[in-house]
A and B are shown apart, each in its own frame.
Chain A
Amino acid sequence: MTGGTLHDRAAVVGVGETSYLRGSKDSALALQLQASLTAIRDAGLEPGDIDGIIPVGITGAPAEEYIANFGLTDLRFSAVVPHGGASGIGALQAAAAAVSAGIAKHVLVPAGRNVSSGDKAGVRIHQMPQFRLVTEFEKPAGAIAPAQLYAPMARRHMELYGTTSRQFGEIAVSTREHAALHGNAVMTKPITIDDHQSSRLIADPFRLLDCSLESDGGAAFVVSSPERARDLAQPVVSLAGIAMGHPDSPSSITQRPDLTKVGIAKAAPIAWGVAGLGPGDVDVAEIYDCFTYVVLCQLEDMGFCAKGEGGPFVEGGRLRLGGALPTNTHGGLLSQGHMLGMNHIVEAVRQLRGNAGRAQVDGAQVAIATGYGDMGDGGLAVLTRGAR
């Protein structure tokens, strides 16, 4: 492995999350601080040990809030990674680079949101500079929310490859099953493929049960060097490889040469290469699931199956606990709650520590977490139990 890569140069040493729910009385900042304290203490650290902060999401409080609330006196690194749902992976990459370079010792990556009290996604995205073209040219036609903007990607996949709505349903059903096992989830009532098929159409082909949940909560993790990680409280979870990728035509899906291909198609070969691992080595997958189809598309773009074969791939219980590729063992954004993909990273770490409770994948040694955001930016993190 070349010296410039992030192979085993950083570890996730602490994770934390709040309850996921709708209608939290706590502000986004309060939820971010709660999750952060949990993650810091999980690592065996104290807030004063944090010397780097990368807030995630457009509700992410600036580093100054942490300096004030934690009484920090020596913050050496802060950054903002503006990739929507890919921000967690992007922040993990930036944090790993910072600890690897010796700029900071312990970098906190917090997220938290209270969407119950605020604007929904369909309003929020039009306030973001990266969507100015969508806002100017597509919103007047009635293309408002991510569900509508992503639906043509799924529709084209269905038309080209014969992918079916029932196959999307497989992803919704297995994810819900895992949410029930996990427990900390907004939605835990079991669903069937028929429930999926009879849920109302939102933006054809997406039905209600294809869509992730707007929810409240906080999630956070702490990144340190492997050397420091060995002296902390938890089994070492090493970052074996990581990469980010932007799709061609990054901000407008409409102009994308291939609607069925997203940014992770560029990131995945790099992340696998740095990790020295491939899809066949993965014990558990936490795949960003803002919509069911987005999971299927990323599975293809990461090389778990060929382009167009995602539909059959997700069938037959492959994604369920006990299946060949247990996926979204926490319930994902579809059933646990929408924490910008931060909850995928938290769950991947728990799985590798072996403390994922009833949703534990026996003997998990290799886990992946992906990010997907801002219309197609993608990231893949390959994590391992200890350095390999």
Chain B
Amino acid sequence: MSDDLSTGYWDGARRGALVLQRCTACGHVRHYPTLLCPVCHSDGVEPLEACGRGTVHSWTVAHHAFDPAFADDLPYTLVTVDVEEGPRVLARLEPDTAGLQIGRPVTIGFAPGAGGVPVPLARPA
């Protein structure tokens, strides 16, 4: 077993792709990374590049900067997105749109966040 669980995700993020984990034994797709498949407990895993389509599950708009690194971004919207492959992704939403609602289709990409770390970015589809 490798403890280097997140390499696939971050390698993908840097080229703009959302990379999830797929169990090679039972096919279960998971995120965030784990050592074992929570369904069949196999440690066999392969990267799965998500199609980038999803729908809004919930959201919040930050009006307070709990970390100074995000003070210039206020207010900013964080959406929880159900991606087509099954798991959810927390993403920044741009442009901030009024009338957000559950089930709204979005696409997921990546954009550089604070400190240059690639951050999932949702846009209305």
Which residues of A pack against B, CB within 8 Å?
A: 120, 122, 133, 136-145, 147-148, 151-153, 155-156, 159-160, 200-206, 252, 254-255, 259
CA distance A160 to B102 in the complex (A): 9
CA distance A153 to B80 in the complex (A): 10
Proximity bits, B103-121, A CB within 8 Å = 1, else 0: 0000000000111011110
Nearest CB of chain B from residue A373's CB, rounded to whole Å: 18
Proximity bits, B81-125, A CB within 8 Å = 1, else 0: 000000111111000000001100000000001110111100000
CA distance A330 to B112 in the complex (A): 46
Contact A152 B80 (CB under 8 A): yes
A-B CB pair tally, cutoff 8 Å = 94
| A259-B64 CB under 8 A given contacts A133-B32, A142-B76, A252-B32 | no
Contact B31 A255 (CB under 8 A): yes
Contact A152 B78 (CB under 8 A): yes
Contact A259 B58 (CB under 8 A): yes
- Tell whether B51 is near chain A: CB-to-CB under 8 Å: no
Residue in B63, B80, B120 whose beta carbon sits within 8 Å of that of A203 in the complex:
B63
Nearest CB of chain A from residue B125's CB, rounded to whole Å: 19
Contact B92 A142 (CB under 8 A): yes
10 contacts between A and B (CB under 8 A): A140-B117, A141-B90, A142-B67, A142-B113, A143-B78, A156-B58, A156-B102, A201-B63, A204-B60, A255-B87
CA distance A98 to B9 in the complex (A): 44
Contact A141 B66 (CB under 8 A): no
CA distance A201 to B80 in the complex (A): 20
- Tell whether B57 is near chain A: CB-to-CB under 8 Å: yes
Contact A145 B102 (CB under 8 A): no
- Tell whether B6 is near chain A: CB-to-CB under 8 Å: yes
Contact B61 A137 (CB under 8 A): no
Q: Which A residues touch B90, using CB under 8 A?
A: 137-138, 141, 143, 254
Contact A159 B101 (CB under 8 A): yes
Proximity bits, B45-82, A CB within 8 Å = 1, else 0: 00000000000011111111011001001001010100
Q: Which A residues touch B61, using CB under 8 A?
A: 201, 203-204
What are the 7 A-B residue pairs with the smallest beta carbon separation, nearest first?
A151-B60, A122-B66, A152-B58, A144-B66, A145-B66, A204-B61, A156-B58
Nearest A-chain residue to B102, judged by Cβ: A159
Nearest A-chain residue to B103, judged by Cβ: A159
Q: Which B residues touch A160, using CB under 8 A?
A: 102
Contact B102 A142 (CB under 8 A): no
CA distance A202 to B65 in the complex (A): 9
CA distance A122 to B73 in the complex (A): 17
